Every structure is written in structure tokens, then in C-alpha cells.
Chain A
Amino acid sequence: MEDLIFNLFIFVLASFVGFELISKVPPTLHTPLMSGANAISGITVIGAVVVAGSVDGVYSQWIGFAAIIFATINVVGGFLVTDRMLEMFKKKEDDQ
């Protein structure tokens, strides 16, 4: 039970940090932000790695394998596509 309460504290505090951080982003960057934040939600890949790498059963390893593929698509694709968008903004900065 202590774990749950402790984790809940972390969850709520992190949510407040998220609200504060993000409420200050200008509209121009909302699309890249959505895409970048989306890539961060692929952090679940860490859980997938634990499931796929432990030997509690072949069955669970295959499940972990599937989870890794899904999460990695999210992470790699998400960060790359965000970078592609932001690259174009960057170019403008250099021009000026």
C-alpha cells in the first residue's frame, strides 16, 4: 500500500509539472509538441524490455516482444518525425 501511495504522489506531482511546462508553449509549436510528447509516452518500452528479457516463460517473452515493437515504433517514429518538423523551423532561424 505504501508503494501505491508513494507512486500516486509522484504521479500527481509530475502531472502538475506537465501542466506548468506545457501551458507556456506558443501555438506555432503545438503540433511538434504533441508529436514529441507522444514519443515520450513510448517510455513504456522500458516495461516491455523487462517483460521480454526475463525468463519467466516463453509466452510472456513473446508478449514482451510484441510490446517492444509497438513501443519502439512510437519512440523512434515520434522523435524522428518531430525532428523533421522542427528542422524546418530551425532553417528560418539561420536565415535571419
Chain B
Amino acid sequence: MSQFLPEAFQTYIPMLIQLFYLVAMALFIFGIKRLSSPATARSGNQLAASGMLLGIVVTLFDREIVTFEFIIAGIVIGGVLGVIAARTVKMTAMPEMVAIFNGFGGGASAIVAWGELTRAGADVTLWAGQDLGTAGLGILIGSLTFSGSFIAFGKLQGFISGRPITFIFQNYFNLVLTGAILVLIGWFISDPTNMPLFWTIFGLSLFLGILTVLPIGGADMPVVISLLNSYSGIAASMAGFVINNNLLIISGALVGAAGLILTNIMCQAMNRTLGNVLFGAFGGGGTAVAADDIGDKSVQKTFADDVAIQCSYAKKVVIVPGYGLAVAQAQHTLKEVAGLLEEKGVTVKYGIHPVAGRMPGHMNVLLAEADVPYDQLFDMDQINPEFKSTDVVLIIGANDVVNPAAKTNPGSPIYGMPVLNVEEATRTIVFKRSLSPGFAGIDNELFYADNNQMFFGDAKKSLQALSTAIKELD
């Protein structure tokens, strides 16, 4: 687009582009900074988006860009697909959506590295070794982000079994495969026109992404998506090294750091190390541990009328929502029940476990969607001391995050994971479809406790029945 500008202007264009890149970078940093507070988060996201728009627009003035058909067509097609996806996705499907977007971002970075190599054609032999090396790394990281993200998506959607899919010596195999790809990249540096070699690197990287994610259980997918999010940032950075673009390098590094921090937070919440998540083949497979000691334990069943009475005459009720609540789309009904109890003078609080939902903060988003006021939401550390003085705890669609085995049974796969101390309350009521184990596949002793009652059924129908029952008490 630079040809449309006055002649005298031409010499300054490269410098101006860089200056605008600097502004875009500042917008990204301010944007992320503002994302740290609920009050400013939305404007932060908009700042980052405007930084992105600025970055794209000034790039159009790059002297290397002379035709626009492909650019316009690509942006229109991608933009329309992006808008449709973002507008129609349900809030509960957010982890899947992030996985897909992330996969496309990583894939794009790999394709950019490929495109740069193709652009250079035979001149690629003139490239410096480190540029070929970063191009190879960009293709490796970008491709494995792409294939890994789509496997994660498939696992969350249920297209692929959520159980860990493993084979013997798998971790060693993946390690050897990673090493092999790195060696091939080394070879590629010395022989950059070798196309079969190039395609082998591409193909093996895609394969590595699939093999890395397949053995990880469905319950750990958010950690994986967060890590892949970090990877896609690093892939963008690598693409930046290839085309020597500061904005790409910086933005990619920011995202890479963000993804790592988030991944770490999620692992801490589950009291696991990242290595254990990636190589432990955990989640969805731990049933064997609990199966032998269920024995002939029995549960107490309860029904809407009884729950209504217990809650209405309580001083304090704590609601512990889990992903099952969101699956049943019962947030709004829950809000209604909470409202009815408050009218009766009952103190209602929500206790949110850090990994409630399927990503940190996911449950807060889902409850916000149902207009649950902020000040009723309490983090685990805030609500745990309060359970002793709580009359009734309603556990709706949550399981592993209230499992006392995490504190008492060293043999349990979730031993050591911080959980909500619901059993300290006078009464706990678990809303659940059946006695089946949770997402992580572990049985829950809480269900058999003396002060616990089970309210079986679909969460939404149960809550509707409860709401009706509370109204009938008047």
C-alpha cells in the first residue's frame, strides 16, 4: 500500500511501521494489564484488539506487500468464520472454543514459516543457519499445537475417548520422536532445499502433537489447552524470528509467559506437577483405586420437599457448583432458588473451587452469565473456614472438588489436591444424576457420610422442583 503515499514519505515508511508496532506492543501490554481487574478487563481486551488492528493495518504498508487479493479474501473468510464461532458458542463450551482458536493460531504460525521458506525458493540456501533453525522450530511448535489442540477439542467434545489412550514405552517414544525431529531440523539447516526432509519434519511434528495429547485424560484437558496456548505464543515468536519482526516476537513471548503461568496455577490447584499431568496418563482412569472399598456402603436419598424445608430454616446455605450444573444449563434456576432463600432471610454464599468448571475461573463466567452477584462468590480459601458454621451445603454437579479422600486417603489419585471442606457443615446435600464417579473417575466417600443426603436427578429438574417446593412452603 506504500505506493499510495507521497514520494517524499517513502524513506520514512519502514521507520513509521516500526513506531506503530511499538504502539501496538504497548497496547497489548496495557491490555493484558487491564485484564487483571474485573472493572477494566473489558476495556483491556478492546485495547489489545485495537493493538492487533493497528498492527495489521500498518503491515499493509510494508513495501514487500504489493497485491491484496489474497489478503482481503483471507481476512474476510477467516473473519466471518471467527465471528460465527464466537457468537454461537455456548459459554459451557468455552474450553473447546479456546482449544480450536488456539489450534488455528499455532497452525498459522507453522504455515507462515513454511510460506517464508517457499517465498525464498532456491534463495533459501542463502539463509543463515539460525533463520532456518527458527523456521524449523516454528514448524515443530506450530504443528504440534495445531494437532494437539484438535485432539484436546475432540476429547472435550467426546469425539475421542476422554480416557487416557496409552501404549507401552509411550513417554520414551515421544521423547525419542521429539529428539528425532530436532535432529532432522539440524539436518534441514545444512540441506534446506531437501523437500522430502521438510515434509517429514512437518508430518512428524503433527504426529507428535497427537501422541502428546492422546495419553492425557479428559479431566486434565484444561491444563493441556493452557499449555498449548503457551506453545502457540512461542510458535508466533518463532515466526517473528524468521521474518525478523519485533512485534511478533514480543507478543508471542507475552502469550508464552501467560500460558505458562496459567498452566502452573491450574496444576497447583490440583496439587500436581506439570510433568505428572503430561506423562502420568491420569484422569478418567483411576476407578480401580476406589472400586474395592465401596462394598455395601449405602447412601441416604432425599427429595425436593425435604431439601426445601432444610434450606428454608437454615441460617446459612453454601452452594458449591460444579461443571455438572453448567452441563444441565441450570445456572438460572439455581439463581432463582438462591433468590427465594434470601427472601426468607437465609444467607446464601457460593463456594467456588479454583478448578470448578473446566478452566480456572470458568464457573465464575458461567454464574456471571446467570446474573449471580459478584459479592456472593467466594474462593476456596475464603469459604473453607466458614463450613463449620454452615447449616446446609448444596453440592450441585461437583464431585472431585469436595472429595474428602484428597485429605484422608493417601492411596487416592487426587490425594493432596486442595478441596472444599464441605463435610464440616451440619448437612451436605449432593445433587447428582447417579452414583457414578466424577470426571476424574474416582469414587467419593462423601456420598456415604452420615450427614450427607443424595438428591438424584438432572440438576435443572431437581432445582426446579426445589424452587417450586420452597414457594409452596409460604
Contacts and interface: CB of A to CB of B under 8 A. Distances in A.
Given A48-B74, A81-B97, A30 B262 contact: yes
Contacts of B79: 72, 76
B466 to A, nearest CB: 25
Contact of B229 (A25, A34, A44): A34
Interface in A19-78: 19, 21-57, 59-78
A77 B42 CA distance: 15
B257 A43 contact: no
B245 A60 contact: no
A37 B74 contact: no
Interface string A76-96: 111111111111111111011
Given A30-B360, A34-B359, A18 B70 contact: no
A33 B38 contact: no
Given A74-B108, A76-B86, A36 B45 contact: yes
Given A10-B246, A15-B253, A64-B115, A32 B81 contact: no
For B42, B83, B244, the residue with the greatest tally of chain A CB atoms inside 10 Å of its CB is: B42
B39 interface: yes
Given A40-B255, A41-B251, A52-B71, A59 B104 contact: no
B19 to A, nearest CB: 15
Contacts of A67: 74, 108, 111-112, 115
A96 B249 CA distance: 41
Interface stretch (B180-188, B272-280, B363-371): B363-371
B248 interface: yes
Contacts of B233: 37, 40-41
Contacts of B373: 92, 95-96
B143 to A, nearest CB: 12
B45 to A, nearest CB: 5
Majority SS at the chain A contact face: helix
A63 B255 contact: no
B259 to A, nearest CB: 7
B170 to A, nearest CB: 28
Interface string B236-278: 1101111111111111111111111110010000000000000
B29 interface: yes
A70 B142 CA distance: 12
Contacts of A78: 82, 86, 101, 105
A41 B232 contact: yes
For B33, B246, B254, B377, the residue with the greatest tally of chain A CB atoms inside 10 Å of its CB is: B254
Contacts of A31: 94, 357, 359-362, 364-365
A23 to B, nearest CB: 6
A10 B250 CA distance: 7
Contact of A72 (B33, B74, B368): B74
A41 B252 contact: yes
A52 B74 CA distance: 9
A30 B257 CA distance: 14
B45 A86 contact: yes
Interface residues of A, number: 87
B82 A72 contact: yes
B413 interface: no
B250 A21 contact: no
B116 to A, nearest CB: 6
Contact of A46 (B56, B73, B91): B56
A54 B77 CA distance: 20
Contact of B65 (A21, A38, A54): A54
A43 B121 CA distance: 25
B55 interface: yes
Nearest to A32: B41
A31 B115 CA distance: 32
Contact of A50 (B64, B73, B118): B64
A93 to B, nearest CB: 6
Interface in B62-111: 62, 64-68, 70-71, 73-75, 77-79, 81-83, 85-87, 89, 91, 94, 97-98, 101-102, 104-109, 111
Nearest to A63: B115
B258 A18 contact: yes
Given A22-B257, A27-B360, A53-B65, A41 B119 contact: no
Closest 10 CB pairs of A and B: A72-B78, A18-B257, A68-B74, A76-B82, A53-B65, A77-B82, A51-B115, A80-B86, A14-B253, A71-B108
Interface of B: 28-29, 31-33, 35-39, 41-42, 44-46, 48-49, 52, 55-56, 59-60, 62, 64-68, 70-71, 73-75, 77-79, 81-83, 85-87, 89, 91, 94, 97-98, 101-102, 104-109, 111-112, 114-116, 118-121, 128, 130, 225-226, 229, 232-233, 235-237, 239-262, 265, 354, 357, 359-362, 364-365, 368-369, 371, 373-374, 377, 379
17 contacts: A11-B253, A19-B257, A41-B106, A41-B251, A44-B252, A45-B52, A48-B112, A53-B71, A54-B65, A57-B121, A60-B118, A70-B107, A72-B75, A73-B81, A76-B82, A86-B42, A96-B374
